[in-house]
Amino acid sequence: MTVERSRPKSIWRRIERWMVGLVMAVIAFVLEKMVLRSIRKAGRSGAGTEELPTTLTSKGGEVDLTDAR
């Protein structure tokens, strides 16, 4: 079912909707920058010090990943 909506009648309503959209776009941009910066920072600091696990534990038991080749 579609609902037909008319455009905002008053110029003030249009300006208000435009400003709300602008503010929300700025907030989304800032949040995205914060997330990307934290991902980049986590990748830089943990890349050299973190050791990858060589044993995988599953329901069937443990599997050594170095002998899997």
Domain-embedded: residue 27: yes
Token pair listed for 43: 């990748």
- Domain-located, residue 53: no
Number of domains in the chain: 1
pLDDT tens track for 4-46 = 877 657 999 999 999 999 999 999 999 999 999 999 888 776 5
Q: Is residue 51 over pLDDT 70? A: no
The pLDDT assigned to 43 comes to 79
What local confidence, expressed as pLDDT, does residue 44 receive? 77
pLDDT band of 67, cuts 50, 70, 90: low
Q: DSSP secondary structure string, 14-56?
A: HHHHHHHHHHHHHHHHHHHHHHHHHHHHHHHHHTTTPPPP-EE
Residue 35: domain span: 10-43
Residue 47 pLDDT more than 80?
no
